[in-house]
Structure 1
Amino acid sequence: MAPPIVRGTAAWKYFGDFRDALLAGQVLVLQVAHPVVAAGVRDHSDYTSDPWTRLMRTGASLSIYVYGGVSGARVEAARLRSVHQAFVGSLPDGRRYSALDPSAYAWVHATLVMAPVDAQRFFGRPLSTSELDEYYAQLCGIGRILGVRERDLPPDWAAFSRYYDEMVAGFAGNPTIDQLFETIETVRKPVDWLPDRWWLPLRRAQARGQLFLIRATLPPALRDRLGLPWSARDQRRFDRFARVVRAVSTPLPPGLRTAHMRWTGRLNVWFRAHPKAYARLVGGNGPGATPPRVPPDGPARS
């Protein structure tokens, strides 16, 4: 049984650390490197036309898993699986796919498991062996709530690391990754009232920064297969940046580093209990919408 996620435990301290956001682009690339995820994003995602809303909803959903309590995580998991049941289509080779394909579903979860560990490795202090054991057990518990099959969850961190490396070794470029890079460079402004003369330089700066962080934090072998350049000078720049982030953020208490995600999780649990408020303030079928019925012990798993 997974240890409960309470104040001071590994998942509580690291999953919502604000430094995790520095790996957002890396996580997206790794997710859409999976051919089924790439096809699903290509056919069903609206992130290219409305990336800011998609980003906010994704952040809200993630916050519930760890900081919204077990009941909140179960309801959000059921909502996600209900939404994704309709996401079906064809792969480039003609085979049919489903967004709930067990391998793809487990891989998306795996990228979210690894990101906070990578964030600490790059920008903080690497997790100790005992922290990794506790963190992984807790995230396996989240995975089971989300509906990841038991056999798709490696039994311990060492096995998970091997699985993760083996998956990455099988990935290469695809059109969805190319579209992701293009979207980063051409993303529309988040609010219409922002003047173009302000937004255009901001967009160029965020694109440079985001693409640099993607190149810096992707597994090097995959970075090479994607044809992304990386030089010794780039590595020195990244090392300097990482040192600054580490110096500024590491002295902060974990409660402060995760406050935004914890409050977001609580807010979205409240939205779930007040769907009219969610519909008025946010809109759409999100945490505040009427959830599907959840079995007493969570979503059904195959």
Structure 2
Amino acid sequence: MAPPVVRGTAAWRYFGDFRDLLLAGQVLVLQVAHPVVAAGVRDHSGYTEDPWTRLMRTGASLSIYVYGGAEGARFEADRLRELHRTFTGFADGRRYSALNPGAYAWVHATLVMAPVDAQRFFGRPLSPSELDEYYAQMCDVGRLLGVRERDLPASWPEFEQYYRETISSFGPNETIRTLFDTIATVGKPSPRLPDAWWRPIRKAHARAQMFLIRATVPAELRTRLGLEWTAADERRFARTRRMVRLLGTLVPPPLRTAHMRWVGKLNVWLRAHPRAYRFLP
């Protein structure tokens, strides 16, 4: 039995760490590399038209089921299952559902691995005891979301093997190409932002995001996707890691997750007071 996600436990410390944001692109690529997830995103996601809203909603959802308390997590889990129940269609002549157990578990698995990867790249790798506690807590979160117990391995070492084996079956697909195109052509987050300002910002953001994707996607998948990686890129990433690691040491541990905890509490309050949404922009 895993301890609840409360102050001081592994999931509380690492799931919402600000450095996790650096792996947002990697997580998206790994999720849509799964053929069922790719089909669902292609047919039902509006991220290409309004990626900023989609990003904010995803962050709010993640914050609730980890930092929103047991009641908030149950509410969000019920909402997500009901939403995904409507995401069905056909891919390669076969009917798919977003609640396909393997695909649903895989999406959760990418969210489980991302904070561990973030610490490995940009912080201090989790100890074996921290990994055991963290994984047990995230499995409990997965069960709240409807991930069947048998669809995720029982221990962290088994999970790592499952993760590697799943990625070994992935390759290029249309949704990944669309994701890369969206990164390069994403619209302004606000219509008030002048085009002359946004164009260089978008170019720099796309360059940085694609660099982080190339750096953090597993090497075998990076090769299959045709993403170039050079010795110069490796040196640049090493410098980036050192810089982010230093920044992380300057931020007190409780503040590293403060943004996600605040968003989680805010969203729980908004769920209980839906009329407040009228006052949001």
* TM-score higher than 0.5: yes
Partner of 2:171: 172
Partner of 1:47: 47
Q: Which amino acid aligns with 2:177?
A: D
Runs of 4+ in 1 over 3 A off after TM superposition: none
Partner of 1:11: 11
Count residues in correspondence.
281
CA distance, structure 1, for counterparts of residue 219 and residue 67 of structure 2: 32
Partner of 1:255: 254
TM-score, normalising length: structure 2: 0.99
Deviation at 1:134, TM superposition (A): 0.4
Deviation at 1:3, TM superposition (A): 1.1
Q: Please say if 1:200 is aligned against 2:199.
A: yes
Please give the residue correspondences for 1:1-302 in structure 2 after superposition, counting only pairs within 5 Å.
1-91=1-91, 93-281=92-280
Structure with greater helix percent: 2
SS at structure 2 position matched to 1:49: coil
Q: Which amino acid aligns with 1:43?
A: D
CA distance, structure 2, for counterparts of residue 173 and residue 84 of structure 1: 24
Structure 2's unaligned 5+ residue stretches are none
Deviation at 1:281, TM superposition (A): 1.5
Deviation at 1:35, TM superposition (A): 0.2
Q: Which amino acid aligns with 1:222?
A: L
Deviation at 1:102, TM superposition (A): 0.3
CA offsets 1:102-144 (integer angstroms, 9 cap, x no match): 0000000000000000000000000000000000000000000
CA distance, structure 1, for counterparts of residue 277 and residue 134 of structure 2: 31
Partner of 1:293: none
Call closer, same or farther: CA 1:104–1:279 in 2, change over 3 Å.
farther
Q: Which amino acid aligns with 2:20?
A: D
CA distance, structure 2, for counterparts of residue 36 and residue 57 of structure 1: 21
Deviation at 1:280, TM superposition (A): 4.0
TM-score, normalising length: structure 1: 0.92
CA distance, structure 1, for counterparts of residue 169 and residue 67 of structure 2: 33
Call closer, same or farther: CA 1:279–1:77 in 2, change over 3 Å.
farther
CA distance, structure 1, for counterparts of residue 112 and residue 61 of structure 2: 15
SS at structure 2 position matched to 1:83: helix
Q: Which amino acid aligns with 1:169?
A: S
CA distance, structure 1, for counterparts of residue 131 and residue 195 of structure 2: 45
CA distance, structure 1, for counterparts of residue 130 and residue 250 of structure 2: 18
CA offsets 1:72-96 (integer angstroms, 9 cap, x no match): 00100100110111110011x2000
CA distance, structure 1, for counterparts of residue 83 and residue 19 of structure 2: 29
CA distance, structure 2, for counterparts of residue 227 and residue 140 of structure 1: 33
CA distance, structure 2, for counterparts of residue 249 and residue 125 of structure 1: 10
Q: Which amino acid aligns with 1:210?
A: Q
SS at structure 1 position matched to 2:89: strand
Structure 1's unaligned 5+ residue stretches are 283-302
CA offsets 1:206-226 (integer angstroms, 9 cap, x no match): 000000000000000000000
Deviation at 1:192, TM superposition (A): 0.4
SS at structure 2 position matched to 1:250: helix
Q: Which amino acid aligns with 1:124?
A: G
CA distance, structure 2, for counterparts of residue 279 and residue 88 of structure 1: 31
Deviation at 1:252, TM superposition (A): 2.2
Deviation at 1:279, TM superposition (A): 4.5
CA distance, structure 2, for counterparts of residue 134 and residue 255 of structure 1: 18
SS at structure 1 position matched to 2:96: strand
CA distance, structure 2, for counterparts of residue 199 and residue 279 of structure 1: 29
Q: Which amino acid aligns with 1:57?
A: R
Q: Which amino acid aligns with 1:220?
A: A
Q: Which amino acid aligns with 1:99?
A: A
